[in-house]
Structure 1
Amino acid sequence: MVKGKITGLSVMDVRFPTSLGQHGSDAMHTDPDYSAAYVVMETDAEDAIKGYGLTFTLGKGTEIVVCAVKALSHLVVGRNLEEIVSNFREFYRQLTSDGQLRWIGPEKGVVQLATSAVLNAVWDLWAKQEKKPLWKLLVDMTPQQLVSCIDFRYITDVLTEAQALEILQDGKPRQETREEHMLKNGYPAYTTSCAWLGYSDKQLQKLCSDALKAGWTRFKVKVGADIQDDIRRCKLIRGMIGPDNKLMLDANQRWDVDEAISWVKELAVFKPLWIEEPTSPDDILGHGTISKALAPLGIGVATGEQCHNRIMFKQFLQARSLQYLQIDSCRLASVNENLSVLLMAKKFNIPVCPHAGGVGLCELVQHLIIFDYISISGSLENRMCEYVDHLHEHFKYPVTIRNAAYMPPLDPGYSTEMKEESVLLYQFPEGAIWQQLIHKKKVDVSNS
């Protein structure tokens, strides 16, 4: 039974100094500090259950997302959870269609990131009240309940409510078998942890060797800064993982369209499965041009981690501009908007291979992709979910990887809750870790 009024909403700027070890470094983001705008939602329920949500950032600018969350909070505090989830579509529209706030969106950028953090907390709260992990909450919902969570505005030319219902109803009869398969085998994953652009060859070789010993068969390499360096690093990695394991490339939006085509053709000898984010994440037609040029080489285009909203995904699918669709649990407006994209991907028969890593992205997106397999796609062909081995120790319910696969989480909620001590240590700028780094920087400057 859904119960309780939301009595308070707080948000914190939590940052991890990952740039010190070049973790997360790529051709466009050379010094990321993996961070989160972290939301805590309080209720007056007897058991005092709290909802936790977050959205992922790279350090600077997190304070802006925090401000946006605070600007949305008046739409949430004082609302009954039952009122929200019984008419989730309407609540979603209220968050995304505020007559003044939407001007700095609409449904994109900082406001959408903030909306995601708030909604992620609502879903965590709902799943905890139902005493189910988020993926199981979704699987157990009726098609009608799921559809009622989705805002179909702007996408009905591709996906209507009736079509979404049909897709979900078609998946119902085989859910039990698929759920058993997930609980036994998990969802296949690939690793990005071995080949960040800032890693040395020695570090890269050790991490690849360790990953192979641990059973990993799918590897992603960051490229795009220097073609000769890319050739050298791809040769090194392909030589280590062998001809049969999968290799993916990720340029993180570095190139112009023609440059992307010529660059990837240089790397085609290493047999990559896809090139990820080859150009601007907003350039739908440019991705289409790249897709068409690389198709004869057997190389697909993957994108989506910085795709603003369901409308852009609709157009990517309409234009056949991607072969692998990468949802993100915090870039889109939480579960609600991701549901619409998963359903559109099913209609176009495009495999979903989510973006993860960061702070908590693995914890969140595992729920979405497990649900997608059980209730929507029913397929694991050409499908895998990204995994990055960073910062999981700061979460109360961290992901479980077994045999290079995500094992379905069993704890109630959306796996979004961080450990209190981690939040206190890494809160920016007053947390102890950041105070130490700020002091050290001042000492280094004074000594130089």
Structure 2
Amino acid sequence: MPVPNRNGLKITQLDVKDVRFPTSLEGHGSDALHTDPNYSCAYVTITTENGKQGFGLTFTCGRGTEVIVLIIRSLKRFVVDKNAADIYADFAGFWRTITNDSQMRWIGPEKGAIHLAVAAIINSLWDLWARLENKPLWRLLVDMEPEELVSTIDFRYITDVITKEEATQLLKEKRAGKDDRVEYLIKNGYPAYTTQVGWMGYSDELVNELCKKYLSLGFTYFKVKVGRNFEDDYRRCSAVRKAIGPNNYLMVDANQAWSVDEAIEWMKKLSPLKIKWIEEPTSPDDVLGHATIAKALAPYDIGVATGEMCANRVMFKQFLQSGGMQYCQIDSARIGGINEILSVYLMAEKLNVKVCPHAGGVGLCEMVQHLQFWDYASLSGTAQGRLIEYVDQQHEHFCDPCVVENAKYLAPKMPGYSTQFLPGTVEKFAYPNGSEWQRMFKEGIMPLPDEAELVNA
């Protein structure tokens, strides 16, 4: 697939908005550590001189989004006045440039707030590319020749696990049957699990009601938040197990609440409930701690899932090498956009670890479906034991929302990365001046922003 023609593709504008939704009001998204999240994002729009646009975002939980917005503005100089076709012609080189500025890399490097900002920009560039080709992002990736796709990836720091040549060969080996797999995805979709039943802030009555709802929608995999109080966890997980029956699957997520020893003991006590995996049992940076937990829980047939807050491909490399994850949970906005995410998929495939993406926050379900569809068609060739997380929130704000039927993601059809907000969403929910936020401040429903949060007002 050739790079788009350069004519008219000079990027003339990069705009970024702080967009927040008041999910804390009803306990949506609540877990052991994130007790009152307002699901939010830094929302990027890039515009070329011929009027083409790309949309990208990075997920946040409310406060702190203003920091990501400021960093994105600091990174504009790497994008504005560049020709998009030139970026795509050397995408790996561009990615290294925007992540490797000799001064700004000090506040990373390739991690934390600066990497979240990079992800939003990179996601907008991929969205633009897919729109230029008039394809959904997953088809853009599937239709690339192995050499072309691999050329978008910066392999620095990971060649001890996989090289460009090995990655290219992996993709070439999976070309047989690719068209059939694409047709299968279009016809059948991709399996999903739900976290919607398991938020920690939900009442027992609501959890039971939601279990019935999602069972009726065809779901067989359910995830519950744990980690604050064992007796409460056991009661809540037991209620979900009873509601979903003995033959469906139950996963739990501690969101980094425990020490290594705590995680092992807590999960041993929960093991009679037939737990498929424990997600983020301890610090997201503790590679060896996760490996210790995984080894201790293997006799109980409990796997370890992690990755939603894994900082970059180097950390993923170590998790994959050490046995610290049996389920690799890439996040579409945590590390540096699609380029870096592709490298994680390739390492996971070589090391035989299943990828089950993290999703649920603003736009995450919309984005990760594209990545997992590409993986099925072009790399792993299977959905066996693999799932996409599904949370039924904020989809109504997108022009191309994900569609889940009978517990399966249906293949996106519209061009792009499914990241464009509907007209009016930004005007209502931009923080702090959007009309909905102004109304909630006036009525005392939400607290007024603090001084730091007013920086982008």
Partner residue, 2:19: 14
* Structure 1 position 264, deviation (Å): 0.6
Distance 2:445 2:69 in 1: 27
Return the letter of the residue paired with 1:163. Answer: E
Distance 2:197 2:394 in 1: 15
Distance 2:233 2:92 in 1: 46
CA contact (8 A) 2:174 2:379 kept: yes
| Among 390, 395, 402, the residue aligned to 2:393 | 390
1:103 and 2:101 matched:
no
Distance 1:414 1:317 in 2: 27
1:38 and 2:33 matched:
no
* Structure 1 position 309, deviation (Å): 0.3
Partner residue, 2:452: none
Partner residue, 2:211: 208
Distance 1:174 1:76 in 2: 38
1:308 and 2:290 matched:
no
Distance 1:443 1:281 in 2: 31
Partner residue, 2:367: 364
Distance 1:109 1:341 in 2: 18
Task: Name the SS for the 2:354 alignment partner.
Answer: coil
Distance 2:306 2:286 in 1: 11
Return the letter of the residue paired with 1:11. Answer: V
Return the letter of the residue paired with 2:367. Answer: L
Distance 2:382 2:214 in 1: 25
Partner residue, 2:74: 71
Distance 1:107 1:303 in 2: 19
Partner residue, 2:231: 228
* Structure 1 position 313, deviation (Å): 0.3
| Among 79, 84, 88, the residue aligned to 2:87 | 84
* Structure 1 position 433, deviation (Å): 1.0
Partner residue, 2:453: none
| Among 287, 290, 294, the residue aligned to 1:287 | 290
CA contact (8 A) 1:38 1:52 kept: yes
1:252 and 2:252 matched:
no
CA contact (8 A) 2:68 2:116 kept: yes
| Among 265, 274, 278, the residue aligned to 1:275 | 278
Matches within 5 A, 1:105-184: 105-184=108-187
CA contact (8 A) 1:53 1:117 kept: yes
TM score, norm. by length of structure 1 = 0.98
Partner residue, 2:451: none
Partner residue, 2:454: none
Partner residue, 2:57: 54
Task: Name the SS for the 1:249 alignment partner.
Answer: strand
Distance 2:114 2:362 in 1: 19
Return the letter of the residue paired with 2:104. Answer: L
Task: Name the SS for the 1:383 alignment partner.
Answer: coil
* Structure 1 position 334, deviation (Å): 0.8
Distance 1:326 1:196 in 2: 19
TM score, norm. by length of structure 2 = 0.96
The number of residues matched between the two structures is 443
Partner residue, 2:324: 321
Distance 1:162 1:62 in 2: 39
1:189 and 2:189 matched:
no
Partner residue, 1:261: 264
Distance 2:256 2:435 in 1: 35
Return the letter of the residue paired with 2:323. Answer: R
Return the letter of the residue paired with 1:72. Answer: L
Distance 1:409 1:140 in 2: 15
* Structure 1 position 214, deviation (Å): 1.0
Alignment identity in percent? 55
Distance 2:216 2:384 in 1: 24
* Structure 1 position 440, deviation (Å): 2.2
Instruction: Give the unaligned 5+ runs of structure 1.
Output: none
Return the letter of the residue paired with 1:24. Answer: G
Moved over 2 A (4+): 440-445
CA contact (8 A) 2:196 2:391 kept: yes
* Structure 1 position 195, deviation (Å): 1.2
Task: Name the SS for the 1:40 alignment partner.
Answer: strand
* Structure 1 position 56, deviation (Å): 0.2
Query: What are the superposed Cα offsets for residues 156-212 of structure 1, whole Å, 9 maximum, x if unpaired?
Result: 000111110110111112210110110011110000011100000000011111111
CA contact (8 A) 1:34 1:57 kept: yes
Return the letter of the residue paired with 2:15. Answer: S
Distance 2:98 2:446 in 1: 45
After superposition, the Cα gap between the structure-2 partners of 1:443 and 1:405, relative to the gap in structure 1 and judged at 3 Å, is: closer
Return the letter of the residue paired with 2:28. Answer: H
CA contact (8 A) 2:137 2:415 kept: yes
* Structure 1 position 420, deviation (Å): 2.4
Instruction: Give the unaligned 5+ runs of structure 2.
Output: 449-457
Distance 2:447 2:163 in 1: 60
Distance 1:413 1:30 in 2: 33
Partner residue, 1:349: 352
Return the letter of the residue paired with 1:300. Answer: G
Partner residue, 1:335: 338
Query: What are the superposed Cα offsets for residues 308-336 of structure 1, whole Å, 9 maximum, x if unpaired?
Result: 00000000011111100000000011110
Distance 2:363 2:260 in 1: 32
Task: Name the SS for the 2:92 alignment partner.
Answer: helix
Task: Name the SS for the 1:131 alignment partner.
Answer: coil
Distance 1:124 1:390 in 2: 22
CA contact (8 A) 1:215 1:404 kept: yes
CA contact (8 A) 2:20 2:429 kept: yes
Task: Name the SS for the 1:314 alignment partner.
Answer: helix
After superposition, the Cα gap between the structure-2 partners of 1:256 and 1:161, relative to the gap in structure 1 and judged at 3 Å, is: same
Partner residue, 1:427: 430
Distance 1:146 1:267 in 2: 43
CA contact (8 A) 2:284 2:306 kept: yes
CA contact (8 A) 1:52 1:125 kept: yes
Distance 2:218 2:49 in 1: 46
CA contact (8 A) 1:52 1:417 kept: yes
Matches within 5 A, 1:371-382: 371-382=374-385
Return the letter of the residue paired with 1:154. Answer: Y
